[in-house]
Structure 1
């Protein structure tokens, strides 16, 4: 659900548009002045006082608009990141509750060529066709590490029954 909020005015964007408009006006005035003069020595003042500063203002306006839009996009990304990463409530730390693992299945799976073993209902391997039962030999040697998401119990822990052959 989106909350209604007041849109802030971005001064960098407004300054960019103002610089672009002023630069365009100066370029038009310089062009008009140059076009009315026949000799180059009479055209130089228009070039120096209107056209060159106008072109500089157009470039400055384009830079300001680019910076303003990228800053605005960065603010949006930060807002979305804040929505994705929700902070844990302060009560959870005080009460000593540890969040439960995401997966609870006892079946261990692995992806060929991977370095982790997962529970069958781990979101990283759930529904993947290439996930195969974890190789018990690789688990015993320690070639595979436990997934930090689903936190499966290692095959080397004594509380787990030995893997079936």
Structure 2
């Protein structure tokens, strides 16, 4: 039995409530017509005698099949989320909350474990480079955290090697003019021209 919305039963409300049932009816009729068209065509040897079955049964059957599919799809889309969808949405929200809380805790735990928890911000001006890399990073950059191979690099070495700033941590840019004006905070630059590798 079809339940109609309370109050004024407008034609749009009636159609919306009957849409899924009309879709199933159209699907069943479409499949039936397709079967009858196939059965009629398969019994005829000549193409000229098969055409009436295609025109009278197969084409309308395909149209009803398509209409039923559209009605069912519209019926599911216009209704609100059902109980299963609501359960999935709640679970996704909980998972998102857990992941974002864990991601917020992870950098704090890494700083506490490495002894950096006493300082609120990394030393300004200190830069790191990964051997063989073409970019320089701040010490709190995600690309160098947890790695054993990042090495400190001075501003003059950054300018001399032509390193680019990391797009993720966005350290202060260093250019040739910066290297001449600012003293090198790190006396032992890695990879600077003329530096002793061994």
Q: TM-score range by the shorter chain?
A: 0.3 to 0.5
Compare the two structures and name the one with the higher helix fraction: 2
Using the size of structure 2 for normalisation, the TM-score is 0.39
Using the size of structure 1 for normalisation, the TM-score is 0.44
Q: Which has the larger radius of gyration?
A: 2
Structure with more contact order per residue of length (Cα contacts < 8 Å, sep ≥ 6): 1
